[in-house]
Amino acid sequence: MSRNGSQYQDLSQLRTPSNDGPTVLTVASGKGGVGKTHLSVNVAVCLADMGYRVLVVDGDLGLANVNVLLGINPGYHAGHLLDGTQPFDKVVDEIEENLHILPAGSAMVQMAELDMASQVRLLERLDLYRRPYDFVLIDASAGIGANVRLALAIAHQTIVVMNPEMTSLTDAYALVKVAFRSGCKGPFQVVVNRVRLAEQAREMHTCLSSAAGALLGLELEYAGYVYLDSVVERAMREQKPFVRVYPRAPASRCITTLAHRLVALNSGRKESRSTGGR
Ligand SMILES: Nc1ncnc2c1ncn2[C@@H]1O[C@H](COP(=O)(O)OP(=O)(O)O)[C@@H](O)[C@H]1O
Ligand SMILES: [Mg+2]
């Protein structure tokens, strides 16, 4: 694939129809601060604990959230892959046996502003569909810019994260609309983070889904919720995933449930593989 990014009218052409290779899940929200990075990292830890091989791609090029959250200071990052100075295996960091991350690199302002052709080149070098993982989680950056649209286009499934607030609802709708117009027709899984009651999550999903159904003709699935929980901040200060240090906390239980649900949702793809989770 050596096409120029500008040639892609419909970004969904970038997605491989193949059932082999990893299931690519993009975690997006339309705005920052709703919990995408915590959700991506903690779901990844749960999937790794279940025996799946997982790669987390820090899509927040320029901010390097994922490694900050895990307390690691990687030697290389996506920029080295893009300019060809390091191969994939050197750039990827092994956190645990089954859990790898692809760091974004901190303060790389230029990475946040990659043009489409560079993004497509980075995608080619990532070669995600041919790497030996069961799941690739892309922690997308905030907003609905070109890099987010690309991350959505290459995903087998999009996880839309929102909070129980009206502003979050409109941001999530804007994201779904942009994704849809870029050729990404889902499936979309909605997760409501920072809820005090499970019913709040159902209500938020219903609001978003009704709007998407009426205005775009899109169905949005309900994937679950994560409780507002003080262990999230506490674990962040310790620079450890909360599911690891506080596995019995309400937020951790929600994440575990979500990870199992994502496995079940993608079991069709997994079953057809020769190297599924153990
Ligand atoms: N379930 C939760 N309970 C309490 N605080 C949370 C929860 N999820 C996220 N947070 C807090 O929200 C903030 C943003 O989370 P983050 O994952 O960085 O968001 P994003 O990646 O969407 O920008 C962080 O300060 C984090 O500690
Ligand atoms: Mg983030």
Q: Which of 68-82, 113-127, 153-167 has the highest mean pLDDT?
A: 153-167
Cβ 216 vs Cβ 176: under 8 Å: yes
Which of 2-6, 38-42, 78-82 is predicted with the least confidence, judged by mean pLDDT?
2-6
CA of 182 to the centre of ligand 1 (A): 27
pTM: 0.91
Q: Using a 6 Å cutoff on CB, does residue 121 contact ligand 1?
A: no
Judged by its nearest atom, the ligand closest to the C-alpha of residue 69 is 1
Mean pLDDT computed over 164-182? 93
Nearest-ligand number for the alpha carbon of 61: 2
252 class by beta-carbon count within 10 Å (0-12 exposed, 13-18 middle, 19+ buried) = buried
169 token code pair: 């609802």
Q: What pLDDT does 92 receive? A: 95
Nearest to 232 by CA among 96, 27, 68, 35: 35
Q: Which of 226, 232, 238 to mutate to test the pocket of ligand 1 (most atoms within 8 A of CB)?
A: 232
Per-chain mean pLDDT for the chain: 87
Which position has the higher pLDDT, 212 or 65? Answer: 212
Cα 109 to Cα 53, 62, 172, 198, distances in angstroms: 30, 5, 25, 38
Is a pLDDT exceeding 70 seen at residue 168?
yes
* Per-residue pLDDT at 225 exceeds 90: yes
* pLDDT of res. 34: 95
Mean pLDDT computed over 178-182: 87
- pLDDT at position 108: 55
